Structure 1
Amino acid sequence: MINKEKISKILPGFVLSVTVAVVGILVAPYIPGFNAVLIALLLGMIIGNLTDWTSKYKKGIDFSGSKVLEFSIVLLACGLSVDDIGDLGWETIVIIVGMVLGMLFVTVGLSKKMNCPKSGGLLTGFGTTICGSSAIAAVAPTVAKDKNDIGIALAVVSLIGAIFMFFWPLVNSVVTIGDQQMALLTGGTLHSVGNVAGAGYSISEDVGKMAVTIKMLRVAMLAPAVLLFNVMTSETKPKSIIEFFKLPLYLWAFIAVTLFVSFVDVPADALKSVETSGKWLLAIAMAAIGFKTSFKTLYHSGRKVLMFGFVVHLIQIVLVLLGVLLLLPNG
Structure 2
Amino acid sequence: MKIKVKDILPGLIVSVSVGVASMLLANIIPKIGAASIAIFLGMFVGNLFLNQDVFQKGYKFSETDLLSYSIALLGATLSISTLMELGVSGILFIVLQMSITIISALYIGKKLGFGQNFRYLMASGNAVCGSSAIASTAPVIGADDKDKGIAITIVNVTGIFLMFSLPIIANFLYNLEPMKTSAIIGGTLQSVGQVVASGAMVNEKVKELSTLFKIVRVILLVVVVFVFGHLKNKSNIEILEEEIKDTKKGKVKVPWYVIAFFVACALFSLKLIPTQASLICKELSNKFEIIALAAIGLKVNIRDLIKQGKAVSLYGFFVGLVQIISATTLIYLIL
> Please, what TM-score do these two structures have when normalized by structure 1?
0.65
Shift in CA distance, 271/222, structure 1 to aligned 2, threshold 3 Å: farther
CA distance in 2, matches of 1:228, 1:74: 24
Q: Which residue of 2 aligns with 1:319?
A: 330
CA distance in 2, matches of 1:86, 1:8: 39
Alignment deviations for residues 174-196 of structure 1 (CA, whole Å, 9 cap, x no partner): xxxxxxxx765344324457877
CA distance in 2, matches of 1:285, 1:222: 23
Note the C-alpha offset of 1:86. Answer: 6.9
Q: Is the 8 A contact 2:136 2:252 kept in 1?
A: no
CA distance in 2, matches of 1:197, 1:68: 15
Alignment deviations for residues 87-128 of structure 1 (CA, whole Å, 9 cap, x no partner): 64xxx62211111112222222222222588656754444xx
The equivalences for 1:85-100 within 5 A come to: 85=82, 88=85, 93-100=87-94
1:60 to 2:61 alignment: no
Note the C-alpha offset of 1:260. Answer: 1.6
Q: Is the 8 A contact 1:28 1:39 kept in 2?
A: yes
CA distance in 2, matches of 1:283, 1:229: 27
Note the C-alpha offset of 1:72. Answer: 2.4
- Counterpart of 2:293 (choices 283, 302, 305) is 283
Q: Is the 8 A contact 1:69 1:285 kept in 2?
A: no
5+ long unaligned stretches in structure 2: 113-117, 138-147, 187-194, 234-238
Q: Which residue of 2 aligns with 1:18?
A: 16
**Counterpart AA for 2:99:** F
Q: Which residue of 2 aligns with 1:162?
A: 167
- Counterpart of 1:244 (choices 247, 271, 281) is 247
Q: Is the 8 A contact 2:104 2:322 kept in 1?
A: no
Q: Is the 8 A contact 1:190 1:196 kept in 2?
A: yes
- Counterpart of 1:224 (choices 219, 229, 243) is 219
**Counterpart AA for 2:98:** L
CA distance in 2, matches of 1:41, 1:95: 32
Note the C-alpha offset of 1:263. Answer: 2.3
1:113 to 2:119 alignment: no
Note the C-alpha offset of 1:40. Answer: 4.0
Q: Which residue of 1 aligns with 2:192?
A: none
**Counterpart AA for 2:20:** V
Shift in CA distance, 113/250, structure 1 to aligned 2, threshold 3 Å: closer
Note the C-alpha offset of 1:279. Answer: 0.7
Q: Is the 8 A contact 1:84 1:213 kept in 2?
A: no
1:72 to 2:67 alignment: yes
5+ long unaligned stretches in structure 1: 127-134, 173-181, 202-207, 325-331
RMSD between superposed Cα atoms in Å: 4.4
